[in-house]
Structure 1
Amino acid sequence: MSQPAILSVERASCDASDGLVSLEEARSRAAAWAVPVEEHEEVVLDQAVGRILAQAVAADLPLPPFDQSAMDGYALAAGDGLPAGSVLTVIGRAAAGDGARTLPPGSALRILTGAMVPRGADAVVMQENVTRADGRIALSRMVRPGDNIRRRGEDVQAGETLLAEGTRIDARHVALLAAQGHGTVCVRRRIRVAVLSTGNELRSQGETLADTSLFDSNRPMVLALARQAGAAVVDGGIVPDDPRLMAEAFRDLATRCDLIVSTGGVSVGDEDHSLAALAKAGGMGESLRIALKPGKPAAIGRIGHAAYLGLPGNPVAALVSWLLLGGAVLAALNGRPARPLAGMRLPLTHTFERRPGRTEFAPARLVQTSGGLAAEILGRGGSARLKPLAAADGLVCIDALHAPVRAGEPVMFHPFRDGFAI
């Protein structure tokens, strides 16, 4: 659940006097409100991508299931080593799928990649390393026992654990399960995530904008993020800044979902009603002030069996908070630890002025420089700016005490290419 590259400095910068909690503590506290969803189901293998494995899977058979040729060539008996210049008679041909053969002494069998190695053979010589004429081959190099043979079970032994419970299935796991003959797999039920936005100024796409209204971008974004994370999503719509109406929405969604996510209304302003509405709906929760920029305020809690996560209203802050807190809550609902964001340390292309005190995330793109790959921060901050976010390749993360960041100094870069899988 922790992110050492980010938190090692941050813990040193946050103390009780400033009232801020570390990213690590915020993720842990958010996850603690989640009740794991235990229901599971059997799904067709090619529809299992993104799902969470409900139980460990053991290998039913070894891979490869028999000794097989690793390339096109000739199967032969090398014994203690067959020297260059040796001549062997070719007795036939074996392709993948052909039945078992037996190799007489002093002979060779033309063999293609994936074919079963005949009994009596202990090596395969590459076709490039022989000359063939008149039904015989002459070796142009020494051949040793075991050359170019994939041994039975060298990849997977029968009975060994293939995949652990809690694995998030991707195409690699599908291939491994398919090679074992699995047509279906047992996975946890999809987490049901409801997303709503709060704000009197918000309008849905297709509605008419008034002079002081805005189209809601947070709800579509978080719905997309939750879907990319493998959840089943419920659109909770837009709710006005009214604790009574918010409480009604929370109560309704809690009967249908495992996680309720709202955006906006989590700070300390006059129209920030999220926690009050949660309590009015019969839930409980707490406010977080996180050593994070953007995304310092957040709210966490539970109503019934549904976890609650309140994100900031500005879109960049909402995205960053979802990646950090939403990932931890979804993982806990799936009964597994949160995975850290996958990042790499890259130099910054330019000096970035900032004040120390909070870990900061900023949209950035990758740039190829004379010294190699580097990260360029886009825009000049602003948690409400969407254009730099859309143009970015990922987010840079700057340690709390790293201020300012000079050109060429390293920062952590977290790419968007994995679809924000968490």
Structure 2
Amino acid sequence: MSGLLAVEEAQARLLALRRPLGSENVIFSQSLGRYLSQDILAQRDQPSADLSAMDGYAIRGADLPGPWAVTGEIAAGGVPSQRVGAGEAMRIFTGAMLPEGADTIVIQEDAIIGGTHLRLAAADAIRPGQHVRSRASDFPAGARLVAAGTRVTPGVIAAAIMSGAAQVTAGTRPRVAILTTGDELVQPGHALAPGQIPDSNGTMLAAMLGIEPANVSLPLHIRDDRLMISRVLKDLARRHDVIVTVGGASVGDHDHVRGALEDAGGSVDFWKIAMRPGKPLLAGRIGDTILLGLPGNPSSAFVTATLFLLPLVRHLAGARAPLPEVRRAPLAAALGPGGKRRDYLRARLEGGLLSVFDGQDSGRTLPLAEANALAIRDIAAPARTVGEQADYIAIA
């Protein structure tokens, strides 16, 4: 417990505290952002027949370069009532089924019509097989379209609907409680007495969780009172899968979260991470409920939430890959060497270059408003010059 854990080890231990929650059937209108708990398998061929990709005329490719006699018309949604024979064409519209015998579309722009006869504007305007969407060219029946653990996006919804599904099966949304601590904190918008500051962390974390598949309770605030914190933790544990505390996780005389967790019948799994900001991060359990204790400085809370809270919620909700993606970009300015802890530096990616901000004090909030990335500098990393590649995590 006295040593500092590596970030990767702490993330693995946190996710191992509890398996993903159960699953439920979810209608499409409520599925966005959820994680699939079952593969989406195609129940049908898409398309289910050869279709025209353009407005034009359906012909036999073998009859090129024409001319043809136009013998009928087919609209999207209709079923052709006759076949196309040698030297024949049928007027057809985008999405309509090709009539039997046809395998090529002469698009409207390449067609010259004289009465009921069709000829090409240019002899080499098309080739056999052009402008046709072949049956099952998108996907065949039985194919696995989307794997379990994938986040539901608008594109996933479209594919699932086209597959023939009426709903998806997704992981249950974890219930998350946010509890901020500190005698100095005042709720947003309230008047401040000397020594007091607005409580930004609770609302910030609720906003971060707002795009995740979680049921988030309104943030609570409590004074630095170990007995009161213990009672609140015990009560919240009965109704939530995750409790996030903010502040009170360090070693000061008014840092009561660890003691209150133990008083509530819980236990600490790990404490203190080899990272900056965010060293005092704490994780434990009260029964099946996971407690994640974040440090109180806004940047520290934001960084640890990005690396630990959001992955935990995604894991419980069934994500296959819950951890943030690490990317690379060239530096816009030189970056000094790393120290004894891994740094997560507020930065901005713009024009393909990563600019690390000068001010990295964890109490500052303006860099969070300006940042769209966290640049990563490993322990004892060598100094980097302009243009060298650096790892980063994209943030909202």
Structure-1-length-normalised TM-score: 0.86
Q: Percent identity?
A: 36
1:144 Cα deviation after fit? 4.1
Which residue number in structure 1 is paired with residue 107 of structure 2? 126
Contact 2:213 / 2:313 at 8 angstroms: preserved in 1? no
| C-alpha spacing 1:148/1:206, structure 2 compared with 1 (3 Å) | same
Give the distance between the partners of 2:334 and 2:158, measured in 1 at CA.
45
Give the distance between the partners of 2:124 and 2:110, measured in 1 at CA.
6
Give the distance between the partners of 1:355 and 1:311, measured in 2 at CA.
23
Partner letter of residue 221 of structure 1?
M
Contact 1:298 / 1:310 at 8 angstroms: preserved in 2? yes
1:299 paired with 2:247, answer: no
1:112 paired with 2:93, answer: yes
1:263 paired with 2:246, answer: yes
Partner letter of residue 69 of structure 1?
S
Contact 2:110 / 2:125 at 8 angstroms: preserved in 1? no
1:93 paired with 2:77, answer: no
Give the distance between the partners of 2:379 and 2:321, measured in 1 at CA.
22
1:169 paired with 2:152, answer: yes
Superposed CA deviations along residues 306-340 of structure 1, whole A, max 9, x for unmatched, are 11111111111111111111133223323444434
1:341 Cα deviation after fit? 2.1
1:30 paired with 2:14, answer: yes
Give the distance between the partners of 1:408 and 1:343, measured in 2 at CA.
18
Which residue number in structure 2 is paired with residue 136 of structure 1? 118
Which residue number in structure 2 is paired with residue 363 of structure 1? 346
Contact 2:54 / 2:131 at 8 angstroms: preserved in 1? yes
Which residue number in structure 1 is paired with residue 172 of structure 2? 189
1:412 paired with 2:369, answer: no
Contact 2:44 / 2:142 at 8 angstroms: preserved in 1? yes
Query: Which structure 1 residue ranges, 5 or more long, are not aligned?
Result: 1-15, 418-422
Partner letter of residue 28 of structure 2?
L
1:246 paired with 2:225, answer: no
- Which piece of structure 1 moves more, 236-245 or 122-131? 122-131
Contact 1:66 / 1:151 at 8 angstroms: preserved in 2? yes
Give the distance between the partners of 1:191 and 1:208, measured in 2 at CA.
34
Which residue number in structure 1 is paired with residue 268 of structure 2? 285
Partner letter of residue 375 of structure 1?
L
1:210 Cα deviation after fit? 1.6
1:19 paired with 2:3, answer: yes
Partner letter of residue 117 of structure 1?
L
SS of corresponding position for 1:235:
coil
Give the distance between the partners of 1:152 and 1:322, measured in 2 at CA.
47
Which residue number in structure 2 is paired with residue 179 of structure 1? 162
SS of corresponding position for 2:210:
helix
Selected match of 1:395 from 374, 377, 381: 374
| C-alpha spacing 1:345/1:321, structure 2 compared with 1 (3 Å) | same
Contact 2:34 / 2:170 at 8 angstroms: preserved in 1? yes
Contact 1:364 / 1:394 at 8 angstroms: preserved in 2? yes
Superposed CA deviations along residues 18-67 of structure 1, whole A, max 9, x for unmatched, are 933222111001112124322x3333211211122233332221111111
Contact 2:171 / 2:318 at 8 angstroms: preserved in 1? no
Partner letter of residue 137 of structure 1?
R
Give the distance between the partners of 1:376 and 1:145, measured in 2 at CA.
53
Give the distance between the partners of 1:286 and 1:242, measured in 2 at CA.
22
Alignment size in residue pairs: 393
Which residue number in structure 2 is paired with residue 155 of structure 1? 138
SS of corresponding position for 1:228:
coil
Report the RMSD for the aligned CA atoms in angstroms: 2.3
Contact 1:35 / 1:305 at 8 angstroms: preserved in 2? no
Partner letter of residue 258 of structure 2?
L
Contact 2:209 / 2:310 at 8 angstroms: preserved in 1? no
| C-alpha spacing 1:265/1:403, structure 2 compared with 1 (3 Å) | farther
Partner letter of residue 385 of structure 2?
R
Give the distance between the partners of 1:142 and 1:236, measured in 2 at CA.
66
Give the distance between the partners of 1:57 and 1:393, measured in 2 at CA.
33
Give the distance between the partners of 1:302 and 1:294, measured in 2 at CA.
23
- Which piece of structure 1 moves more, 381-390 or 265-274? 265-274
Contact 1:348 / 1:408 at 8 angstroms: preserved in 2? yes
Superposed CA deviations along residues 229-265 of structure 1, whole A, max 9, x for unmatched, are 1211013411222221111111011011000001112
Give the distance between the partners of 1:227 and 1:367, measured in 2 at CA.
26
Contact 2:213 / 2:314 at 8 angstroms: preserved in 1? no
Which residue number in structure 2 is paired with residue 208 of structure 1? 191
Give the distance between the partners of 2:216 and 2:128, measured in 1 at CA.
57
Question: Superposition pairs for residues 330-369 of structure 1, below 5 Å?
Answer: 330-368=313-351
1:349 Cα deviation after fit? 1.4
Which residue number in structure 2 is paired with residue 420 of structure 1? none
Partner letter of residue 74 of structure 2?
A
SS of corresponding position for 2:235:
helix
Structure-2-length-normalised TM-score: 0.91
1:181 Cα deviation after fit? 4.3
